[in-house]
Amino acid sequence: MPVDQAPSVIEVVVVRLGGSRYALPMDSVAEVGRPPAMSRVPSLPNWLAGVVNWRGRVLAVIDLRPLLGAPAAELDRRARLVVLNRDGIPVGLLTEGVEGTHLLDDGMVEPSLANLSDSASGLLAGQTTDAAGPCGVVDLDAVYRLADTLPRARRAG
């Protein structure tokens, strides 16, 4: 196999959403903490859980469970807020828990299941299976593109 096509190994953080496992690229994870009190913003999609005061800054928090077709059970003490940062844009991801970090060989990533909804398959770069079972690989570009679907603020005038 040519060098430019050699599979690469990346470190991922495995989180739980809707009882299933999902991998996030570690290089985009800024920090992980307990979710603080959240303020819901009216008239926004259900996947936008709200905003929080995170270290003195307003942070938008998303919940991918509605888009993944996963049940949105009450969060318990294992719940974590995973703060992602891509190109200097932070966003919080509400999770049911964090399993830890793993190494992922991108050559082992398979296409997502064909029976997933369009919203779910659009958020995943594929899936992989390890000793703990199946794990969806989240496409963070697709997660950040969700902002493009939000209504634009009206200008006063």
Q: How does pLDDT run across 53-109, given as a tens digit for each residue?
A: 999 999 999 999 998 888 777 888 999 999 999 989 999 999 999 999 999 887 787
Residue 29 forms part of a structural domain: yes
- The edge-to-edge listing of strands for the beta sheet with 124-130 is 97-105, 9-17, 20-25, 133-138, 124-130
Residue 121 forms part of a structural domain: yes
Residue 46 forms part of a structural domain: yes
Residue 8 forms part of a structural domain: yes
Number of H helices, E strands in the chain: 3, 10
- Per the document, the length of the chain is 157
The predicted pLDDT at position 139 comes to: 92
Residue 64 forms part of a structural domain: yes
Domains identified in the chain, total number = 1
Residue 157 forms part of a structural domain: no
Amino acid identity of 52? V
Amino acid identity of 79? A
pTM for this model (two decimals):
0.85
Structural domain harbouring 109:
3-149
Residue 16 forms part of a structural domain: yes
β-strands 124-130, 133-138 pairing: antiparallel
pLDDT above 60: residue 157:
no
CATH of the domain at 122: 2.40.50.180
Residue 138 forms part of a structural domain: yes
Q: How far is CA 101 from CA 25, 51, 106, 133, 148, in A?
A: 10, 26, 15, 15, 30
- What the block records as the tokens of 147 is 């902002």
Answer whether 25's CB lies under 8 Å from 10's CB.
yes
In percent, the amount of the chain with pLDDT more than 70 equals 87
